[in-house]
Chain A
């Protein structure tokens, strides 16, 4: 068994070396008496093979006289490989470079397995001139119950009117929601919500000063007044009682107590609402700030 291994180790040597010394090395191995000595020779053979391949490249291409026999059974043999002998230092440098590259590759693969890059994108709030808060989800607008969240830094904890007003989202009413149809223009389907000046800070955020004011209509000639009454954004149409408004969106409001009436505000360049369109069934009344 050990002899077979030693023969394999001898075969691992470069061809010129094993052709010149291989048989002698085997004869020396056969002379070894003890098992320890044979193990020692086996180890010596492994070291020798390593040394020949790494440190003795100048002897790799050296062929024995038997290899140079030009004719084998009448057919000449050729060698197409160039007689290239790399420098010893170049071979060692190549080994070191390969080892370093291999180590780096292993390290990078391992690093990619256990590390996850956490890239934090800084969050920001979109505070447009309409005061729209991006944190409001459509489900909130549809009336899904929402938990109290501290999203807006503009909420006045004292409950007084601050720059921004909060719209509380009310639970969905039982039964099918009645959707008013206003001519060809159908307002977004929404459950009427109640505008409050205080309360839950979560929800639709409106700047009420953009709505409040007087709007004049040419046909029919009348003045529509948007005002704050009883802590609610309200509308006063001449000849009618003042009704509270419920926001369905930033620009669309329903009149509480008059399900067939909707108001759509149209903002101007200054940020305030410049016009409103009051829809009552098929009738539409357009009014504008003076």
Chain B
């Protein structure tokens, strides 16, 4: 029952914006700094979607405020000491899963509709 109410709470934030979705996806694997997130987003979208620093940190600010992303701070031994790392939290992972599930439904529905629309062979 508590799990269902938690899912209900998460659904009020859906659908996610493309920038938020890509950032959460990027952080789903590892803890990354800002530049690495930008590179990961470009890789995921095969270069079709590029985040600028302004958009990146604006979304990171929102995600941190919602406690979906956690700021880890600097890591010793990094090339650039100014870099800070970010980590996906449990609630952030829940939101990401809910969004992926929603997108899966959309893809499934879309494929079934497109299959109906295909001309039948007689």
- Residues on A lying within 8 angstroms of B by beta carbon are 17, 20-21, 23-29, 31, 40-41, 44-45, 47-49, 51-52, 56, 59
Asked if A56 contacts B61 (CB within 8 A), the reply is: yes
Interface residues on B, range: 10 to 19
Residues of B within 8 A of A25 (CB): 53-54, 57
Is there a chain A Cβ closer than 8 Å to B44's Cβ? Answer: no
Asked if A24 contacts B54 (CB within 8 A), the reply is: no
Asked if B52 contacts A26 (CB within 8 A), the reply is: no
Residues of A within 8 A of B94 (CB): none
Asked if B57 contacts A24 (CB within 8 A), the reply is: yes
Is there a chain A Cβ closer than 8 Å to B11's Cβ? Answer: no
Asked if B58 contacts A27 (CB within 8 A), the reply is: no
Q: How far is the CA of A25 from the CA of B60 in the complex (A)?
A: 13
CB distance from B115 to the nearest CB of A (A): 41
Residues of A within 8 A of B52 (CB): 40-41, 44, 47-48
| 6 pairs, CB–CB < 8 Å, chain A vs chain B | A21-B61, A27-B35, A47-B52, A48-B52, A48-B57, A51-B58
Residues of A within 8 A of B38 (CB): 28
Chain B residues touching A, majority SS: helix
Given contacts A41-B53, A44-B53, A59-B65, contact A28 B34 (CB under 8 A): yes
Q: How far is the CA of A249 from the CA of B37 in the complex (A)?
A: 104
Asked if A51 contacts B54 (CB within 8 A), the reply is: yes
Q: How far is the CA of A59 from the CA of B65 in the complex (A)?
A: 9
Asked if B54 contacts A27 (CB within 8 A), the reply is: no
CB distance from B37 to the nearest CB of A (A): 10
- Of the listed stretches B12-20, B21-29, B79-87, B97-105, name the one at the interface; the rest are far from the partner chain: B79-87
Within 8 A of A (CB), among B79-122: 80, 82-84
The 8 Å CB contact of A44, one of B54, B65, B84, is B54
Q: How far is the CA of A249 from the CA of B80 in the complex (A)?
A: 107
Is there a chain A Cβ closer than 8 Å to B30's Cβ? Answer: no
Residues of B within 8 A of A56 (CB): 58, 61
Q: How far is the CA of A41 from the CA of B57 in the complex (A)?
A: 13
CB distance from A156 to the nearest CB of B (A): 91
Asked if A48 contacts B35 (CB within 8 A), the reply is: no
Residues of A within 8 A of B80 (CB): 27
Asked if B58 contacts A52 (CB within 8 A), the reply is: yes
Residues of A within 8 A of B71 (CB): 20
Q: How far is the CA of A41 from the CA of B50 in the complex (A)?
A: 12
Q: How far is the CA of A101 from the CA of B102 in the complex (A)?
A: 45
Residues of B within 8 A of A26 (CB): 82
Q: How far is the CA of A145 from the CA of B82 in the complex (A)?
A: 98
